[in-house]
Amino acid sequence: MKFNKTSQLVVAAAASLLAASLLTACSTLTVDFVFVTSSKAAGPNNYGLIDVFEINSESGKMRQIPSSPFPSGGRLPVAEVVSADNKNLFVVNEDDNNIVQFVIGSDGKLYPFNTVNTPGIFPIGVAATKTNLFVADTYQPLPLCSNADPCSGSIAVYPLVAGSSGSSSTGSCTATVCLGTPVTNGSAGVPYWPLTLPSAPSDVIVPTAVNVLASGAYVYVTAYDSSVTPNRGLIFGFAVGSGGALTPLNNGVPHDMGVGGEGLGIRPSAIASDPTSSYVFVTDSTNDIVVSYSAASGVLTKIEDTPTGNQPTAVVVDPAYPYVYVTNGLDGTVTAYSMSSGVLTSLDNYTVGTDPVAIGIDPSTKHFLFVANFLDNNVSGFELSTTAGTLLESQFSPFSASTNPTAVAAIPHNGTGGGITK
């Protein structure tokens, strides 16, 4: 067949349509965007970075988007959380005592929007509901608190102001949500709640993680008493009131995991809760256990201890299926558990990288799991069987990340799933 100009235009048009259809088809394969903070970056300020990955819904392959990584806005980012509408990312930078808010573009790109200082010193954890953001600080903001002269930690609450309906901590709110002024602790007149033992107020309490129930009614901070040997694991519980004000549970006496309490909790390392707000799971990095609790009316009642691998570092509960996963720092593994009424049954162990420190499950299909490996500078990806809880390594896993990844968070792509559901 002889190609004249007209036929060439027809072929070119057809080719363009085919390319467009392929591009559209390929674009729909992105099921989630995953944000991975890393603690080190090149340059004089040594600021942290945020790698942004997209997950392929068919293979689970994770690929960094164009323009990734993005600066974290501070030194040593250690924790992050997304807003309930999946349009904002809040990153905690420990060494700069700040929270940086990023607006998330439809393509997963991050746009710095606002930076606020935390009320305390050296923030270590963050959690959020639709209306409040909670941050745990290593030290209270007292004049003498420092690494040279440590004091107990604290928790603070930032209201999340919706849209253009109010003012944020730095002015008018033009994002979908903004950080309001920290809530005042009415009993002390300060913008935080101290984590102290009523029976031993001079003991130095070190917070390790924070979690808020999906209901938003209760928030918990894991910590340990560093003034006693062996350390004693503690869980501080608070009821969340109107406007975000906190009321300590049990008159401020924390749940005692250690000697004199349950006897096994020495240094809790991570905490997570299930989507029904019925159960809470706490890992202990010294005794290599994950402790299950019932959280009825906010009061924690121990169900059982379940063995983990060596030095558990992070825990995640599948938001749709009855499975719990724990990373084991010294082993370089993930342990999978089935869950029934808060009781965990070990399924298997899966190899990841060196020193896994953070774990997440994709919020779209709840079918992909990812693990940040601190010393290997990468992210391990898995496909999760929703019927068995077992894991299958994703295509081309692990995926390169920036130096020393520390935390993970994720949003669904365009708010849809569309991936594998087996």
| pLDDT value of residue 171 | 61
Cut 0.85: pTM above it: yes
Give the Å distances, CA to CA, from 99 to 40, 71, 413: 17, 13, 24
> What's the CA gap between 314 and 281, in Å, rounded?
10
| pLDDT value of residue 421 | 29
Strands 98-104 and 301-307: unpaired
Q: Name the residue among 32, 9, 69 with its Cα closest to residue 414.
A: 32
How many other CB atoms are found less than 10 A from the CB of residue 252?
Answer: 17
| pLDDT value of residue 19 | 39
> What's the CA gap between 212 and 84, in Å, rounded?
13
Q: Examine residue 398 and say whether the peptide bond preceding it is cis (omega within 30 degrees of 0).
A: yes
- Sign of the Cα torsion 266, 268, 274, 276 reads positive
Which H helix or E strand runs over 276?
none
| pLDDT value of residue 263 | 72
| pLDDT value of residue 173 | 82
Q: Name the residue among 197, 182, 198 with its Cα closest to residue 231.
A: 197
At a CB cut-off of 8 Å and minimum separation 6, what does 339 contact? 274, 279, 317, 322, 323, 324, 345
Average pLDDT, consecutive stretches of 10 residues, N- to C-terminus, the chain (422 residues): 40 39 51 93 76 94 95 95 96 96 95 96 97 97 91 97 61 86 95 96 97 97 95 97 95 88 87 97 96 95 96 97 98 98 98 98 95 98 96 96 97 58 28
Residues 353, 356, 362, 367, Cα dihedral to 10°: 60
Which H helix or E strand runs over 241?
none
